[in-house]
Amino acid sequence: MNSELTDPRTGRLRGTAPVSREPEVAAAVAAARTALDAWSALTPKDRARRLDRLATLIEDSAAEYAVRERAGTGKPDAETAGEIEQVADLFRFFATAARTRTAPAAGRLVTGHESWVRWEPMGVVGVIVPWNYPLMMAAWRCAPALAAGNTVVVKPAETTPDTLELLAEHAARTLGEGVLQSLPGDRRTGRLLVGSPVDMVAFTGSGQAGLDVAARAGTRRISLELGGNAPAVVLPDAPADTYASLAEAATYNAGQSCAAPARVITLTENYEETVARLTEAMGARLAGRDFGPLNNVDQVARYDSLVASSSAKRQLAADLAVPPGEEHGHWRAALLLADLPHDDPTVTEEVFGPLLTVQHADSVEAALSLANGVPQALAASVWTTDLGTGLDLAARLDAGEAWLNCHLVQTAELPHGGRGSSGHGTDLSTLALQEYQRPKTVTVRLTPGPCES
């Protein structure tokens, strides 16, 4: 059974991909289970060496990864190149992180006994990743899971299986057979993977799908990143580059990023200036030149429906710069919505497109209330030259990641994760290793027992 693949830049058929069902899922999980003992038995140093070889192979094959990533996503070359570089860095980072982590308290904590904590892998991890960052989101999940000693079966989104197929081939060469496998397919494939005898599920995707994963996973550990709806609180004394920075972040990957700025919130006294400057900044970002298309027809339909349902009195769209021959792709212009109610669908829901809404409040406290007034709580930013006020607001924003005078600035060393309906768990940083390990306390009696001499 195969599914058709479409080029998002042209809308035309570009090939097919297999759709895995019960036999393929069972075989992949069984292979991962077979590989688990040998992989988990390696010392952290030996696992690190193999992960480092995988990172080198990714770098050496960057051009091939870029072709595949562009085919599935339509991303511009600069975006693709940067993400591939980050993927190689992630595998190297976690290879080292697994060698340097420390355990909880150990020693003679009970009289006559010595205790310590072992960190053990969860086992076989089922990973499900979305289409907006096919390779990078897989690396966010797979790199710490592998470094912690787990084996992984990862299901890419139905529309973007290309780069994970190559990653699995390279993993087989550098890590060993069965250690990291790609399982192409559709939503049913993902449900089959969750229902299979994996020991843990790591899922990145929509809130509704995340709830389904949680229900199917039962008592097994799950790690969920379920999207965002990030506010950007812009105060009247915001730096001069605020508006261009927000426009760039909002249109990166055509806005198809869970942490992208989505809701600009400013004070009433600064509202008209903010709308004017954001209109100019968004107008300078051209789809086809500065950012790519939406990924698939379902996302296009959802985006168009949300925009059509908005009661915004001002809808300010930029121009398009679509290359010749790509006029029928999934292109959408950068769009600014203003003069809209606080319960507008484009405010309360994750739009996932090159769109910014602008709201205003009469006070900083009211602006903070608006920022924290949606169920999603993944990321947020504050823009002000008053660092004291900015740091205070960053601390009070309900978000797993907050930026001050920047947005979408991330690195492997810093954790990323959500709250509320954005899910739970940690990606990136040494903290992510704990997602894929479980502690075991070992205590040894040192003093002789009553019957011992």
Whether 453 shows a pLDDT value over 50: the answer reads no
Question: Measured between alpha carbons, how far is 28 from 36 in angstroms, rounded to an integer?
Answer: 12
What is the share, in percent, of the chain residues with pLDDT greater than 70?
99
Average pLDDT over residues 200-210: 96
In this structure, what token pair is assigned to residue 205?
């995707």
Nearest-CA neighbor of 135 among 178, 73, 189? 73
CB neighbourhood size of 212 (10 A): 17
Question: Measured between alpha carbons, how far is 423 from 225 in angstroms, rounded to an integer?
Answer: 5
Whether 332 shows a pLDDT value over 50: the answer reads yes
Q: What is the pLDDT of residue 449?
A: 72
Amino acid identity, position 451: C
Question: Measured between alpha carbons, how far is 36 from 388 in angstroms, rounded to an integer?
Answer: 50
pLDDT digits (tens, 9 = 90+) for 72-122: 999 999 999 999 999 999 999 999 999 987 777 789 999 999 999 999 999
Question: DSSP characters for 343-384?
Answer: T-HHHHS---SSEEEEEEESSHHHHHHHHT-SSEESEEEEE-
Q: What is the pLDDT of residue 23?
A: 98
Question: Measured between alpha carbons, how far is 293 from 308 in angstroms, rounded to an integer?
Answer: 19
* Model confidence band, residue 55 (pLDDT cutoffs 50, 70, 90): very high
Whether 159 shows a pLDDT value over 90: the answer reads yes
Residues that are catalytic = 225, 258
Task: With beta carbons less than 8 A apart as the criterion, state whether 90 and 139 touch.
Answer: yes
Question: Measured between alpha carbons, how far is 244 from 406 in angstroms, rounded to an integer?
Answer: 11
With a CB cutoff of 8 Å and minimum separation 6, the contacts of 124 are 29, 32, 33, 36, 150, 151, 152, 153, 197, 198, 199, 200
End-to-end CA distance of the chain: 70
pTM (2 d.p.): 0.95
DSSP type of residue 253 = G
Average pLDDT over residues 145-173: 98
Q: What is the pLDDT of residue 452?
A: 54
Nearest-CA neighbor of 408 among 292, 280, 257? 257
Q: What is the pLDDT of residue 143?
A: 98
Whether 1 shows a pLDDT value over 80: the answer reads yes
Q: What is the pLDDT of residue 451?
A: 58
Q: How far is CA 140 from the centre of its chain?
A: 7
**15-29, 99-113, 134-148, 184-198: segment of lowest average pLDDT:** 99-113
Q: How far is CA 442 from the centre of its chain?
A: 35
Q: What is the pLDDT of residue 131?
A: 97
Mean pLDDT for the chain? 96
pLDDT digits (tens, 9 = 90+) for 58-82: 999 999 999 999 999 999 999 999 9
